[in-house]
Amino acid sequence: MAAVLANISNIVIPVLIFVIVAQGITKKVAVYEEFVTGAKEGLQTVVQILPTLVGLMVGVGVLRASGFMAFLGGLIGGFTEKIGIPSDIVPLFLVKMFSSSAATGLVLDIFKTHGTDSYIGLLTSILMSCTETIFYTMSVYFLAAKVTKTKYTLAGALFTSFVGLLLSVYLAGTY
């Protein structure tokens, strides 16, 4: 069964591309020209959001390299330990809100220190799947889509991330 699914996944993308091109041809659309136009717009979007990306990456890098995240984890860790959240998880949770790639670096550090099969390793894995890069997503995608009405977005995203954190603690504890 797994081999069948692996083979299906190998042909889905080419079939999808073929269907899109075939539909474009049947509707008399200049498929290649539309593709090139879309690619140009995509590059323009990349140029527009690049300063935001660089700012986020530099900010997270500075906080991590300065030791502030470890300090914050130790500071808040006394409280979070009581509810099942190890102090090593606090910096990961905070960094994940800004950058998934920076959070991956912290994940590797946690795995190296505690192992992947430990409670903290399991919690880390689940947490990375249950939370989102809130500020990255809001700044990059909202900027690209020119979304200006974000009244409840941040509050909702922070709430769901905290729920994801609590569910991660619950799921890791029941394993």
pLDDT digits (tens, 9 = 90+) for 115-159: 999 999 999 999 998 888 888 888 877 877 888 888 888 899 999
Q: Look at residue 40 in the predicted model and tell me its pLDDT.
A: 93
pLDDT in tens, 74-107: 888 888 888 888 888 988 898 888 888 788 888 9
CA 46 to each of CA 30, 52, 141: distance values in angstroms, whole numbers, following the listed order = 24, 10, 11
How many CB atoms sit inside 10 A of residue 141's CB?
12
